[in-house]
A and B are shown apart, each in its own frame.
Chain A
Amino acid sequence: MSEPLLSVRGVEKSFGALKALGPVDVTLTQGERLGLIGPNGSGKTTLINCIAGLLRPEVGTIIYGGVDITAEPAHKRARMGIARSFQIPRPFTGMSVLENLLVPLDYVARGSRDEIERADEVLASVRLNPSRDAPVEALSQLELRKLELARALVTGPRLLIADEAMAGLSEGEIDEILSLLFDLNRSGVAIIMIEHIMHAVMRFSERMICLETGLIIAEGSPRDIVENPEVQKVYFGEQARH
Chain B
Amino acid sequence: MLYLDFATNALVSGVALGSIYALLALGLAITFGLLHIPNVAHPAIVVTGAYAAAAVSARGFDPLLAALVLTIPFYVIGLAFYEFYARTFELRGRGDTLQSLTLFFGVALVIEIALVIAFGADLRSVSVPYVGRSLSVGFVTLPYRFLVPALVTPVVVLLLWLYLTRTHAGLALRAVAHDERALSISGINPTATKRHAFGLATALAVLAGAALIITGPVDPFTDRTLMGRAFAVVVLAGLGSIPGTLVAAIVIGVAESFVTTFVNPSWAPGVAFAILLATLGLRPSGLFGAAR
Contacts and interface: CB of A to CB of B under 8 A. Distances in A.
Interface stretch (B185-193, B243-251, B283-291): B283-291
11 contacts: A15-B285, A15-B291, A15-B292, A16-B238, A16-B285, A16-B289, A16-B290, A16-B291, A17-B291, A18-B291, A20-B291
Interface string A1-41: 00000000000000111101000000000000000000000
B57 to A, nearest CB: 43
Contacts of A20: 291
A134 to B, nearest CB: 19
Given A16-B238, A16-B290, A16-B291, 8 more contacts: A15-B285, A15-B291, A15-B292, A16-B285, A16-B289, A17-B291, A18-B291, A20-B291
B234 to A, nearest CB: 16
Interface residues of A, number: 5
Interface of B: 238, 285, 289-292
B96 to A, nearest CB: 10
A9 B289 CA distance: 29
B99 to A, nearest CB: 13
A15 B286 CA distance: 11
Contacts of B285: 15-16
Contacts of A18: 291
A20 B285 CA distance: 15
A16 B290 CA distance: 7
A111 to B, nearest CB: 30
Nearest to B283: A16
Nearest to B285: A16
A18 B289 CA distance: 11
Across the A-B interface, the 4 shortest Cβ-Cβ residue pairs: A15-B291, A18-B291, A16-B285, A16-B291
Nearest to A18: B291
Nearest to B289: A16
A193 B258 CA distance: 55
A15 B289 CA distance: 10
Nearest to A15: B291
Nearest to B288: A16
